[in-house]
Amino acid sequence: MIKRLKIGLKTPVIEYARFGVTPGEAKKIATPEQVTLYCKRPYDYKNLPSLKAGDSVKTGQKVALFDNNNDDVIVASATGTVASVEPFVSDFGKSYIAVKIDTADSDDIENLFEIEDQVEETDPVEEGETEKEQDEEIQEEKAQPPALGDVLSILKYVPGALECDTLSNPGKPIKTIVVSGADTDLIVKSQKFAVQSQGNNLKKGLRILKDISGAEKVILALPNDLVQGFGSVGVEVKGINNQFPSALPALIMKDILDTPLPEEKSCEDMGITFLNAEAVAALGSAYNTNIMPVEKTVTVIMKDGRDVLVSARIGTPVKEIFRELDITLNDGDRIIFGGPMMGTAFYSVEQPIQQNTDAIMVQDNENVQLVSDTPCINCGECIGVCPAKIPVNMLVRFLEAGQYQDAADLYDLYSCVECGLCSFVCVSRIPIFQYIKLAKYELARINEAEATNDD
């Protein structure tokens, strides 16, 4: 919890963590005995996966869950044998297929592409040539740009990948790709770390995107303090200010791209899509090394507020990370995937790190803030902080009454960028953000039901 004396006429500003000059190494978490990987598709008892317990997999291998289906795959983050393939229900009832893999002692790494001569054959390093120049030379020699399909299928599974498939949706062509190196939540540093520690991979990934994605524009959006050094890549570099929540896509669209997102539209409807710097760096690394990256950088926020960067294989249960960092948990503590403002609380230490798990936060039960059932007192604090200029005081009255449609029609429910600031400042401690998410979820369900009825 942040508690500061509030003094001054203007609404206090909350700032993102500034990154030190030396990023330091991320602590490496040992390969756990078991990793759990999710395939984002509901488990269907009528159509059981063909992947079974006992099948063996290699690190970096793309494993199809069904025969003759290249869409539903997982990328094994460790070598070993499949222990189970079972259904898993995530928050808001999203249903996935969970694949558990018992890891073997040694890593057997599967190359991304069939080894062709030119990748393996190492040029003798010519005198006076830097590694980078040589790198570029190899690329020129190959003279064959990576195939779009390959790139997309890599981008989908690398660490930092977002839960979407936006680049390959023919219905919504993408004109602008924004690669963001700014972490959206407070304290979290994982994207910034990728920018700082994987600069060359990031540049490589950006070049690939620029060359083959077909997008007119690739923009690299970085926190203001990190913009230096990316001029040579040939993509537009933009700075994001340090005030929370400027790094959210909706606000990048408004402040940097000058295209405020119309309500009920997605970025993709506008021909714009967002990628994480970490994912693009991983793409670069995949092409540089011909190995699929499987380690995710995670910012661990401890009970006392300190934070540590760790690097763990995707699928590592959080308990392994807690063990290595000597974090003890008690009844009533909170485990949060993500940061303090927008993360998701989980009930189990078995929960695995996923591609998009930028942070894990543990909170001591003493610091767990409970919400209250006091009504809104109309203090106006939420109005002052809301980056979307929503009349939250009115909105919350409708949400509490369950009048979601009116909330959307009259009080701008869909303009909300989901930053959580309103709940953070609410004097009555109303779980406003939760109400908002619930309302959007309920409305989506109602609309879906209506759509199916119409058919």
With contacts defined by CB under 6 A, how many residues of the chain interact with ligand SF4? 30
Site string for ligand SF4, 337-376 (x = CB under 6 A): ---------------------------------------x
Using CB under 8 A as the binding rule, the residues of this chain from 312 to 331 that contact another protein are 319, 322, 328-331
* Pairing status of strand 295-301 against strand 272-276: unpaired
Helix (H) or strand (E) holding 242: none
Using CB under 6 A as the binding rule, the residues of this chain from 376 to 415 that contact ligand SF4 are 376-382, 385-388, 390, 392-393, 396
Which of another protein, ligand SF4, none sits in contact with 23, Cβ below 5 to 8 A by type? none
User: Shortest Cβ distance from residue 43 to another protein (Å)?
Assistant: 22
How far CA 13 is from CA of 6, 161, 232, 241, in Å, comes to 11, 30, 34, 12
Using CA atoms, how far apart are residues 254 and 241, in angstroms rounded to an integer?
13
User: Shortest Cβ distance from residue 257 to ligand SF4 (Å)?
Assistant: 18
Q: Which CB sits closer to ligand SF4, 177 or 425?
A: 425
Using CA atoms, how far apart are residues 386 and 420, in angstroms rounded to an integer?
9
> Distance between alpha carbon 353 and the CA centroid of its chain, in Å?
11
> Distance between alpha carbon 59 and the CA centroid of its chain, in Å?
22
> Distance between alpha carbon 319 and the CA centroid of its chain, in Å?
20
- Span from 75-83, 132-140, 231-239, 255-263 in contact with another protein (CB under 8 A): 255-263
Using CB under 6 A as the binding rule, the residues of this chain from 37 to 66 that contact ligand SF4 are none
Using CA atoms, how far apart are residues 313 and 353, in angstroms rounded to an integer?
8
Binding-site member from 89, 115, 410, 427 for ligand SF4 (CB under 6 A): 427
Q: Retrieve residue 347's tokens.
A: 């009930």
User: Among positive and negative, which fits the CA dihedral 427, 374, 330, 351?
Assistant: negative
Q: Which CB sits closer to another protein, 7 or 451?
A: 7
- Under the binding rule (CB under 8 A), the answer on residue 402 touching another protein is no
- Three-class secondary structure of residue 190 per DSSP: helix
What Rg, from alpha-carbon coordinates, does the chain have? 23
Helix (H) or strand (E) holding 131: helix 131-142
Q: Which CB sits closer to ligand SF4, 10 or 46?
A: 10
Using CA atoms, how far apart are residues 17 and 226, in angstroms rounded to an integer?
13
Site string for another protein, 415-434 (x = CB under 8 A): x-x--xx-xxxxxxx-x-xx
Using CA atoms, how far apart are residues 230 and 221, in angstroms rounded to an integer?
11
- Under the binding rule (CB under 8 A), the answer on residue 6 touching another protein is yes
For residues 422 and 386, the answer to whether their CB atoms sit within 8 Å is yes
* DSSP at 56: E
- Under the binding rule (CB under 6 A), the answer on residue 168 touching ligand SF4 is no
> Which residue, chain included where needed, has tokens 């890599």?
154
Which of another protein, ligand SF4, none sits in contact with 399, Cβ below 5 to 8 A by type? none
Using CB under 8 A as the binding rule, the residues of this chain from 332 to 351 that contact another protein are 332-336, 338, 340-350
- Span from 61-69, 124-132, 134-142, 379-387 in contact with another protein (CB under 8 A): 379-387
- Under the binding rule (CB under 8 A), the answer on residue 390 touching another protein is yes
- Under the binding rule (CB under 6 A), the answer on residue 434 touching ligand SF4 is no
- Span from 172-180, 222-230, 259-267, 443-451 in contact with another protein (CB under 8 A): 259-267
- Under the binding rule (CB under 6 A), the answer on residue 252 touching ligand SF4 is no
Binding-site member from 283, 419, 435, 439 for ligand SF4 (CB under 6 A): 419
Entry field: residues in the chain: 455
Which of another protein, ligand SF4, none sits in contact with 254, Cβ below 5 to 8 A by type? another protein
* DSSP at 48: -
- Under the binding rule (CB under 8 A), the answer on residue 446 touching another protein is no
State the number of CA atoms in the 13 A half-sphere of 149 facing the CB. Answer: 3
- Under the binding rule (CB under 6 A), the answer on residue 251 touching ligand SF4 is no
For residues 67 and 50, the answer to whether their CB atoms sit within 8 Å is yes
- Under the binding rule (CB under 8 A), the answer on residue 89 touching another protein is no
- Which amino acid type is present at position 267? C
Which of ligand SF4, another protein, none sits in contact with 404, Cβ below 5 to 8 A by type? none
- Under the binding rule (CB under 8 A), the answer on residue 112 touching another protein is no
Using CB under 8 A as the binding rule, the residues of this chain from 164 to 193 that contact another protein are 186
Using CB under 8 A as the binding rule, the residues of this chain from 200 to 229 that contact another protein are none
Kindly report the number of other CB atoms within 10 A of residue 127's CB atom: 5
Query: In degrees rounded to 5, what are phi and psi of residue 9?
Result: -80, -35
Name the residue among 343, 22, 358 with its Cα closest to residue 181: 358
- Span from 3-11, 108-116, 168-176, 213-221 in contact with another protein (CB under 8 A): 3-11
Residues at the interface with ligand SF4 (CB under 6 A): 376-382, 385-388, 390, 392-393, 396, 416-422, 425-428, 430, 432-433, 436
